[in-house]
Chain A
C-alpha cells in the first residue's frame, strides 16, 4: 500500500514536469503545432537598421505576421526582408506600402503596412515595392547640423 502512494507521487511529479514543458513550449514561447497558415511576401528597404528576424508585421496596429529573414540584395545593395503573413489577411493590394516603424522612442522596430488602392492582391512570393526605410537618429542629427551650418554661412 505504501508503495502505491509512492508510485502515485512519482507519476504526478512526472506529469507535472511534462505539463511544465508543454506550458513553456505553447504558452511562453508561443510555439504553434502543425502547419502554420502563412504566405511569404518580400520587401526591399534602403535601410533596415534595427529590424530583426521575428519582428512584428502590423497593419492598422494589429499584428498580422512576422519577419522571417533579412538579407542583403547583392545587385541593388538594398536590405531584403522576408515576411510571413497570416493567410487570413490575403487581400493586401499589390501597391501597399511597407514602412519600418519604432514602438515608442527607444522601442523595438517593426514593419507597418498601409493599404494601397489597386485591385490586384499580393500573393505567395509577392513583393512590396513602395517602402519607407527605418528612421536613423544619427542621420537626422547629421542633417540638422548640416542645415544650421548652411544657415550660418548664408548669413
Chain B
C-alpha cells in the first residue's frame, strides 16, 4: 500500500472543500436562473399543470393514508397516557397541536421527498443521460425554463397544500378514534382543541414550516437530477442523495424553525 504524504491528504481535503463549495454555488445559480430567468417559448401554465398533477395529485393517496393512521395512533397513545391523569378530553388538543406544529409539515416533507422528490431526480437525470436536455438547448429551448422551472413551482405549491390536507385528515382520524372508539365526549374534544390552538401561532407557523420544507426538498431533488453524472449509476446515486439530503435537511431545519417559532427566547 502506498503511503500518502501529509501534504497529499491536505490537498485531498482542500479538493473536497472546493467541490462542495462549487456544488453549492452551482445549485444557487441553477435555482435563480430557473426561477427568475427570461421565460422561453411554450405554454408555461400547461407545463405547470402537468407537473402539479404528477407531483401533487399523485402524492395525495400516500399523504391521506399515512395522515389518517398517524392521527389515529396519536389519539390512541395520547389517550392511554392522559387517562392516567384523568384528563382524556385533552387528547384533541394534543393531536391537533402535534399535527399542526410538527408532524404535518415534517412527515409530509419526508413522504414527499421519498414519493415525488426521488421521481423528479430520476426523471431529470434520465433526461440528462439520454441527452434530451442538451437537445432542447440545441433547438433553442432553455431546459431550465422548460423542464426545471415547472417542476420547482409544482413542488413549492403542492407541498404546503399536502401538509394541510395531512393535518386535517390526521385530526379527523384522531377524532374518530377518540370519540367513536375510546368514548371521549365530542363537545370537550373539539372545545379543548379550539381553546388551545391559535390560528396565527400554530396554523400559520405550520404552513410557514411546510413552505420552507417544500422549497428545500424540491430544490435538492431537481438539482440532484440536473447535476447528476449522466450514467445509470450516477442517476441511482443522485436519487439516493436526494432522499438522504432532503430528509436530513428537513429534520435539521425543523429543529431550527421550531426553536425560532416556539422557543420563547
- Stretch from A14-22, A68-76, A126-134 at the B interface: A14-22
Instruction: Let me know if A107 is at the binding interface, CB within 8 A.
Output: yes
Cα A30 to Cα B56 in complex, Å, equals 28
Contacts A20-B165, A25-B199, A29-B194; A10 near B87 (Cβ below 8 A): no
A43 smallest CB distance to B (angstroms): 20
B72 smallest CB distance to A (angstroms): 17
Cα A27 to Cα B191 in complex, Å, equals 10
* B87-A20 in contact (CB<8A): no
* B50-A6 in contact (CB<8A): yes
Contacts A28-B193, A29-B197; A10 near B164 (Cβ below 8 A): no
Report chain A residues within 8 Å CB of B202. Answer: 29
Instruction: Let me know if A105 is at the binding interface, CB within 8 A.
Output: yes
* A10-B100 in contact (CB<8A): no
CB nearest neighbor in A for B95:
A28
Which chain A residues in 4-59 approach chain B with CB under 8 Å?
6-7, 9-10, 12-14, 16-18, 20-21, 23-25, 27-31, 54, 56
Instruction: Let me know if A117 is at the binding interface, CB within 8 A.
Output: no
Cα A17 to Cα B166 in complex, Å, equals 10
Interface of A: prevailing SS: helix
* B167-A10 in contact (CB<8A): no
Cα A143 to Cα B50 in complex, Å, equals 72
Interface of B: prevailing SS: helix
Contact-residue size bin, chain B (C-beta under 8 Å from the other chain) = 20 to 34
Cα A103 to Cα B207 in complex, Å, equals 32
Instruction: Let me know if A142 is at the binding interface, CB within 8 A.
Output: no
Instruction: Name the one of B57, B100, B171, B199 contacting A9, with C-beta atoms under 8 angstroms.
Output: B57
What 0/1 pattern do residues 69 to 107 of B give for CB contact below 8 A with A?
000000000000000011100000000100010000000
Report chain B residues within 8 Å CB of A21. Answer: 164, 207
Report chain B residues within 8 Å CB of A6. Answer: 49-50, 53
Report chain B residues within 8 Å CB of A17. Answer: 158, 160-162, 164-165
Instruction: Let me know if B52 is at the binding interface, CB within 8 A.
Output: yes
CB nearest neighbor in A for B194:
A30
Cα A29 to Cα B168 in complex, Å, equals 12
* B57-A28 in contact (CB<8A): no
Q: Which residues of B contact A (CB under 8 A)?
A: 46, 49-50, 52-53, 56-57, 60, 85-87, 96, 100, 158, 160-162, 164-165, 167-168, 171, 190-191, 193-199, 202-203, 207
5 residue pairs, one from A and one from B, having the closest CB atoms = A17-B161, A30-B194, A20-B164, A29-B199, A29-B197
